[in-house]
Structure formats: structure tokens, C-alpha cells
Amino acid sequence: MSRFETAFAKGPALVCFITAGDGDTAANLDALVESGADVIELGMPFTDPMADGPAIQEANLRSLAKGTRTADIFRMAREFRARHPETPLVLMGYANSMVARGAEWFGDQCAKAGVDGVICVDIPPEEDAELGPALRAAGVSLIRLATPTTDAARLPAVLEGSSGFLYYVSVAGITGTQQAAQASIEEMVGKLKAASSIPVAVGFGVRTPEQAAAIAAVADGVVVGSALVDLVKQHGDGAPGSLRELTTALAQAVHAARRA
């Protein structure tokens, strides 16, 4: 089984996002995994993160101000894989950072660093040739995004060539600023799961254990990002303790759905 299959086979998975180079990244990643995160998303800092709200935008700027480069991110990934051989690692970011040196180069670097999957926010399925074939050739999952506006006509294109898991962006907006109504999440997750066997993880706007628990009751995974990034902003290099506290509570809420 792949790392993704193992992570999702246990039941609803907690997917945790932080930005590479923001705070003490290695210590933050360790805190997430050791506190119950099942899948890690590591954000690649970018100057114009169009899908992200203020929290992650500011994290991108903090990281870039420290001089974080693509080489640093792959080093962080390699070191993470050495410390956590079983935890799936996803790079999340934007096309400029991924294809600047060529899609084949990026896919090769992902494979060498032990990266399991990539989420590229601004390459739509219709432009899959820009990155998808290179990732698949390198054995790296391309994780696509579905949204509330993804209708039945377009869903097959979203699913084609996608693997690892499907990321359902539950609001038609940016990260961290609002949460969708539970009823709308349940309806769309049902449609996505009926159309594909790929696990469905729900994100955007999930901040509390209570929200995570409600989503875990219907989805295969819950993605939390801005709430964690806010802690890094507040505590800087001292963030791991606060990250452990919140991640433990989130993991307990999500994993309780397994027992239910």
C-alpha cells in the first residue's frame, strides 16, 4: 500500500498544513506528526498565493523574507522523510514555483525527496500536460481540487489523472476566512464519493475540533491550515508547543469518527 492508502485506510485522516520556512519548520512538522496528523501538506512560499487568505499570505511573505528557496523546501522534505518514513507528505503551491525549471525536473526532485503528492492550485485539469505527466512518471500523486462550483459535467476532468486523495475546497473563496454550511459539505462529499474511489478530504475554513469532527463524520479526511499557521505567526520559533496542543485536539476529534 502507498503511504496515502495506509493513512486513509484507518478512517478519517487529519491533514495538516504549514508553510515551509515559516518559523522552525522541522520542529513544527515533528509537532504535527507526533500529535496525530496523518498527512502533512507543506506550503511552497509564493509571492502571489491567489487562493490563500491573510494568514497564509503573511506566512508566505515571512518565509520569503527569510530567503526560503525551492532547494530549501526539498531539503526540508528529505529530512522530514528520514524522520517520518511512513507519513504522507504533500507539497502545495503554485505553478510558477513548480515548472520554472521544467516539470520533469520538479517531478524528479519530488521523488528524490520522498514527496508523495503535489497540489498545484493554478494548473486546471485542462492544462494537465504542464505538470501531470511529469509527476505521474516520477510516481508522485497529482492531487486535484474540487469546489462547490464543480458540476457533474466537469467532475470527470477533475478526477482524470488524480490520485492520492481529492481535496474538496468547501467554500468559493480563499483559505481561512469562512466555513461552508455542514449540509452543503455533506451533499458535495456524497457526490464526489459516488463518482470516484479516491478519498475525499475537506478543507478551507476548518479551525476547531468541533468543525473537524462534523466533517470527519462524512468525509475521508479533514484539512486544517490557517489555524495552525496563525500559531506560527503568534509564537515564531516557539510554536511547536501550541501546535501540539491544537493538533492533539483536532486529531482526537477526527479520529473519534473512526470509532463511531
Residues with a known catalytic role: 41, 52
121-134: string of b/e by CB count within 10 Å (b at 16+)? bbbebeebeebbeb
User: Can you read off the three cell numbers belonging to residue 66?
Assistant: 527569510
Sign of CA dihedral 41, 47, 48, 53: positive
- Alpha-carbon distance 38 to 116, whole Å? 13
Closest CA to 193 of 14, 12, 10: 12
Quote the strand ranges of 78-132, DSSP E: 89-93, 117-120
- Alpha-carbon distance 3 to 21, whole Å? 24
- Alpha-carbon distance 158 to 173, whole Å? 19
Quick check: 4 and 116 in contact, CB under 8 A?
yes
- Alpha-carbon distance 247 to 38, whole Å? 11
CB atoms within 10 A of CB 231: 25
User: Can you read off the three cell numbers belonging to residue 77?
Assistant: 522534505
Cross-strand pairs, 167: 145, 201
